[in-house]
Amino acid sequence: MATPHIAAEKGDFAKTVLMPGDPLRAKFIAEKYLENPVLVNNVRGIQGYTGTYKGVKVSVMASGMGMPSMAIYSYELFKEFDVENIIRIGTAGAFSDELRLKDVVVGMGTCTNSNFASQYHLAGTFAPIASYKLLKTADQVAEKLGIPLHIGNILSEDNFYHDDPNVNEGWIKMGVLAVEMEAAALYMNAARLHKNALAICTISDHLTRHEYATTEERRTAYTQMMEIALGMAVELDA
């Protein structure tokens, strides 16, 4: 049944949903990869499509920007639409000197400066981690496709602009690979609802070398992470 944010019915979404941040990237994936894609949601311009890929039912829907937006959409998909697996396919800014633009990073765990976990009233600090099932599948699919993965810790930020110019130094010192703005909320929703989540990100910026991709590249050129996620949907359906 429809929610305040998703105008769809049960059964409209596949068990596996790919979630880019940008609605236009969701549209691009649906049109480029899915057979017979159907628009199942467009509330607030957050486009969601369901079709098939290699005979397997797959959905793709945008999450919007930031953890509050990701938290709403992923929670509703998991809880109200019986989605089992959400694979974030987004962009990230690199911290590590080993990373280059267009490299693919997978978040095994996510650090965060968000207060999202406070709602659970835990007697300590919660460590948001990926579903091992999805992580293992991503690694296997990427190996078959010949796509190198950088797997490790990422940072989910609440702030895009910082008053402190040295804010990233501590994370870099601790070996955090890259920064994005959604994965921690996704991982915590998945943990709370006993579902599966993974963030696969393409490096669009290098924050210490000051290298930046174009808007068009962000939307349409980062096909490797899309193909990994689609391959995972097929494997997860087997």
Any idea which residues carry the catalytic annotation? Answer: 205
Q: What is the distance between the alpha carbons of residues 89 and 87, in angstroms, rounded to a whole number?
A: 6
Q: What is the distance between the alpha carbons of residues 19 and 73, in angstroms, rounded to a whole number?
A: 9
Give the number of other Cβ atoms within 10 Å of residue 205's Cβ.
17
Which amino acid does the sequence have at 86? Answer: I
Region of 176 on the Ramachandran plot (φ > 0 left; ψ -120 to 50 alpha; else beta):
beta
Give the residues across from 201 on adjacent strands.
90, 105
What sign does the CA torsion over 81, 84, 88, 89 have? negative
